[in-house]
Amino acid sequence: MEHLTHPNRRRRPQKVACLKELLTVLPAVRALVTGGTGRVGSAIAARLEAEGWKVFAAGRVHGDISQVETARAVVRTAAEALGGLDLLVHAASDGFRPKPVEEVTEEDWDAAFGATAKGGFFVTQAAAPLLKEAGGVVIMIEDVMGIQPWPSFAPHSAAKAALSMLTKVFARALAPDVRVCGIAPGPVAVEPEQVERRASESLLGRIGSSDDVADAVVYLAGAEFVTGTTLVVDGGRLLQTARGSKP
């Protein structure tokens, strides 16, 4: 099994324009997707499989990755099933529930930070040796809520902001062996009665989809000169003033 290249090892052919070209060079590449059974995570896993990746989609059945030993066990299980690891996509999260700041509980806070930030840290820590060996990639699924504060989702917003910082921390810590990038989606799953409102907040006049996020994962997985940055996938929502809009 050949691996994604490493700056100090065998060089990959130059100007790999997209993942499909990469897959003509490598027989298979191996991905662990945490939160891989959720709405966004399952779309990412399906897209990677369609592109020729071997994918381990980790969900709740594999345990609670907010627990350190479980996070490490998920990585071990995935690496054993796949025969190694080239890509980690951290899409697991919890605590996405609207609640006024005054009513947020410690349980709400711990739920949001557990799977998202704590889980993201320890899954990446455990995967790092495998990814260094392969010259691999980490992609954190962040959120525009980590950039723009949404008071009614305070724990989730704060946890995603923490995950965004982990993207930068790990990019520095694991360079040059491993690239680490983030994706910050805008609303990709809204209630039917909110579709028109959320679409109007986007410069493109529509809400996003899980497939839009999966497209961004495919791009970043093959973008050899991109690390330590976050790709915002929100249709230009952050550029809108959205006066009078209070999420």
pLDDT in tens, 120-136: 999 999 999 999 999 99
Task: Identify the residue with better confidence: 113 or 23.
Answer: 113
**Predicted confidence band of residue 47 (pLDDT cuts 50, 70, 90):** very high
- pLDDT > 70: percent of the chain: 86
CA–centroid distance for 214 within its chain: 10
Q: What is the pTM assigned to this prediction?
A: 0.86
- pLDDT at residue 241 is higher than 60: no
Q: Exposed e or buried b for every residue in 75-92, given b needs 16+ CB within 10 A? A: beebbeebebbbbbbbbb
How would you write 132-183 as a 3-class SS string? HHHCCEEEEECCHHHCCCCHHHHHHHHHHHHHHHHHHHHHHHHCCCCEEEEE
| DSSP-based three-state secondary structure for 29 | coil
Starting at the edge strand found earlier in the chain, the sheet holding 87-90 runs 54-58, 30-34, 87-90, 137-141, 179-185, 230-233
Residue 7 has a pLDDT of 35
Q: Exposed e or buried b for every residue in 171-189, given b needs 16+ CB within 10 A? A: beebeebbbbbbbbbbbbe
Give Rg (Cα) of the chain.
18
Q: What domains can be seen in the chain, in order of their start residue? A: 19-239 (3.40.50.720)
Task: Identify the residue with better confidence: 190 or 84.
Answer: 84
Residue 247 has a pLDDT of 57
Residue of 182, 68, 174, 72 whose CA lies nearest to 131: 174
Task: Identify the residue with better confidence: 245 or 215.
Answer: 215
Distance CA 223, CA 16 (A): 8
